[in-house]
């Protein structure tokens, strides 16, 4: 395999946090090497240091990046990537004031995408997802968590889970596959949600063949904390790791439940309370925050990121890419929204999208930082420093993307 050298770079390493995510005062520690060089071979990072500190192998392909910013590959830890169709019809309804959750209660929203995916072939789901994955890569994303949840029956959930598998096989991208059979109550189970909970539990053994994580949309009018707990406890028995859509629209105690279950992350958290944050901090549950969703749903509520930092809850950021609440794949835009609405610094948003995101999907031993022995997942941004990414918003700054030590995208 070709040896790759990137030199004359402003390298953000995020080094020193493979054992645990950045939190509290250490959140945003970039570990910058100015005028740096890194060497990758056999898919891994061999060396990282100052220019001239070590010899450049003669047989290496050398990229002089002329002072550009080099960071760990971005990790998007909450997406609904594997789906077919779109819901632009709801956009106007929402602008006119119809609440997102009311659209769902009337059979639209997630249920509309369920309808579209039940009708779609596996091929259609795969092709659309691949196109969207390529767009993610173009923004610097090298690892993606991808949920099912637009089937709510085994046949369609399987089409999505198979799509995750195929995306992983046909690209170099790591796809962290999540089973979200409990994403909504299907219309035919509207009057008997408990029966649907049983159906989801029945799907778990087959789903485990395709997915690492199990997730539930714990929300008023969707799955209660009791139902969520029941599903996730069963999931754990089958060997799943767990995550939770928690405290998004109303407070339900989702954060507490995530902590109690030892979840790797609790996601959304717009309405999380003090106790929920304290329990998450104690159990080391990563808060995956989704500012694009607050923005796109025009809520005036954003997750209390500053209280989380104060309480030492580790924070990751994600796109929540999906056809309804947040149809964007762009992590650079999400970083801008996180700076402006959570008052995170640009450095914190980058830590949240790399090392902390890697922890939230249980992969920090392999990815999330530029350190010797880690996977060669690296992005070159056409930027002089980290601040420039969220500051100059609405465009893409990606210059080139390396995955497992190979160039996979360039401007």
Ligand X SMILES: N=CN[C@@H](CCC(=O)O)C(=O)O
The annotated binding site for Fe(3+) is made up of 78, 80, 245, 320
How many chain residues interact with ligand X (CB under 6 A)? 13
Strands (E), 102-230: 141-147, 174-182, 213-216
Q: Considering only 191-199, 316-324, 347-355, 384-392, which stretch makes contact with ligand X by CB under 6 A?
A: 316-324
Nearer to ligand X, 73 or 323 (CB): 323
Question: x/- site string to ligand X, residues 317 to 346, per CB under 6 A?
Answer: ---x-xxxx---------------------
Judged by CB under 6 A, does residue 108 bind ligand X? Answer: no
CA 39/CA 358 separation, integer angstroms: 22
Q: How far is the CB of 291 from ligand X (least distance, A)?
A: 12
For ligand X, the closer of residues 265 and 322 by Cβ is 322
The least distance separating ligand X from the CB of residue 324, rounded to whole angstroms, comes to 2
Contact indicator for 324, 109 with CB cutoff of 8 Å: yes
Q: What is the DSSP-derived secondary structure letter of residue 217?
A: B
Binding-site positions for Zn(2+): 78, 80, 245, 320
Q: In angstroms, give the least distance from the CB of 286 to ligand X.
A: 16
- Rounded to a whole number of angstroms, the minimum distance from the CB of residue 149 to ligand X is 7
- CA of residue 250 relative to chain centroid, distance: 22
Task: Tell whether residue 241 is a contact of ligand X (CB under 6 A).
Answer: no
Which burial class, exposed, middle or buried, applies to 88 when counting CB atoms under 10 A from its CB (0-12, 13-18, 19+)?
exposed
Closest to 127 (Cα-Cα) out of 169, 65, 84: 84
Residue nearest to ligand X (CB): 324
Binding mask 120-159 for ligand X (x = CB under 6 A): ----------------------------------------
- Cβ proximity to ligand X: between 60 and 101 the closer is 101
The Cα 64–Cα 42 span in angstroms is 20
In the sheet that holds 241-246, the strands lie side by side as 74-76, 141-147, 174-182, 213-216, 241-246, 265-268, 286-289, 315-317
According to the binding rule CB under 6 A, does residue 303 interact with ligand X?
no
Q: Is 192 exposed, middle or buried (0-12, 13-18, 19+ CB in 10 A)?
A: exposed
| Terminal CA-CA length for the chain | 23
Give the range of 58-66, 132-140, 233-241, 315-323 binding ligand X by CB under 6 A: 315-323
Cα–Cα distance for residue pair 385/335, rounded to 1 Å:
14
Helix (H) or strand (E) holding 240: none
Is residue 178 close enough to count as binding ligand X by CB under 6 A? no
Given candidates 77, 108, 109, 225, which one binds ligand X under the rule CB under 6 A? 109
Does the footprint of ligand X cover residue 390 (CB under 6 A)? Answer: no
CA distance 360 to 263: 9
The binder of ligand X chosen from 80, 159, 359, 374 (CB under 6 A): 80
Task: Decide whether 23 or 94 has the Cβ nearer to ligand X.
Answer: 94
User: 183 or 403: whose CB is closer to ligand X?
Assistant: 183
Tell me if 407 sits within 8 A of 399, measured CB to CB: no
- C-alpha 332/C-alpha 208 separation (Å) is 32
Site string for ligand X, 18-37 (x = CB under 6 A): --------------------
C-alpha to C-alpha distance for 394 and 183, rounded to whole angstroms: 30
For residue 253, state whether it binds ligand X (rule: CB under 6 A): no
Binding mask 181-220 for ligand X (x = CB under 6 A): ------------------------------------x---
Measured CA to CA, the distance from residue 387 to residue 7 in angstroms comes to 21
Q: What is the tally of helices (H) and strands (E) in the chain? A: 15, 16
Q: Which is nearer to ligand X, 87 or 166 (CB)?
A: 87
Residue 351: CB minimum distance to ligand X, A: 22
Query: Which residues carry a binding-site annotation?
Result: 78, 80, 87, 150, 183, 245, 248, 320, 322, 324-325
Tokens for 37, please give them.
Answer: 């060089």
The residues binding ligand X (CB under 6 A) are 80, 109-110, 113, 217, 245, 248, 293, 320, 322-325
């Amino acid at each position: 395999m070709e040896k790759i050298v990137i030199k004359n770079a402003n390298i953000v390493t995020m080094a020193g946090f493979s054992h645990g995510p950045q939190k509290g005062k250490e959140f945003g520690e970039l570990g910058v090497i100015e005028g740096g060089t890194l060497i990758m071979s056999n898919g891994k990072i061999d060396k990282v240091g100052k220019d001239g500190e070590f010899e450049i192998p003669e047989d290496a392909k050398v990229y002089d990046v002329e002072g550009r910013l080099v960071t760990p590959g971005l990790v998007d830890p909450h997406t609904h990537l594997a789906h077919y169709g779109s819901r632009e019809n709801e956009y106007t309804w929402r602008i006119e004031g119809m609440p997102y959750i009311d659209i769902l209660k009337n059979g639209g929203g997630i249920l509309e995408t369920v309808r579209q995916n039940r009708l779609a072939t596996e091929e259609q789901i795969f092709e659309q997802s691949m196109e969207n994955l390529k767009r993610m890569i173009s923004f610097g994303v090298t690892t993606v968590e991808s949920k099912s949840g637009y089937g709510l029956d085994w046949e369609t959930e399987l089409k999505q889970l198979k799509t995750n598998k195929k995306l992983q096989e046909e690209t170099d991208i790591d796809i962290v596959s999540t089973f979200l059979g409990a994403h909504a109550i299907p219309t035919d189970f509207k009057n008997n949600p408990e029966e649907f909970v049983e159906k989801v539990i029945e799907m778990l053994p087959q789903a485990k063949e395709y997915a690492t994580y199990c997730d539930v949309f714990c929300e008023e009018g969707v799955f209660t904390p009791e139902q969520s707990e029941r599903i996730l406890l069963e999931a754990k028995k089958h060997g799943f790791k767990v995550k939770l859509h928690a405290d998004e629209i109303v407070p339900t105690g989702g954060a507490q439940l995530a902590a109690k279950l030892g979840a790797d992350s609790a996601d959304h958290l717009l309405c999380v309370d003090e106790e929920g944050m304290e329990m998450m901090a104690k159990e080391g549950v990563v808060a995956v925050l989704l500012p694009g969703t607050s923005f796109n749903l025009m809520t005036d509520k954003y997750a209390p990121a500053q209280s989380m930092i104060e309480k030492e809850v580790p924070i990751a950021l994600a796109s929540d890419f999906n056809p309804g609440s947040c149809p964007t794949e762009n992590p650079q835009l999400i970083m801008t929204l996180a700076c402006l609405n959570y008052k995170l610094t640009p450095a914190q948003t980058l830590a949240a999208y790399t090392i902390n995101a890697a922890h939230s999907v249980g992969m920090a031993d392999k990815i999330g930082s530029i350190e010797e022995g880690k996977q060669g997942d690296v992005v070159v941004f056409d930027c002089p420093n980290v601040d420039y990414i969220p500051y100059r918003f609405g465009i893409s700054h990606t210059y080139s993307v390396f995955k497992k030590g190979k160039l996979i995208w360039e401007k």
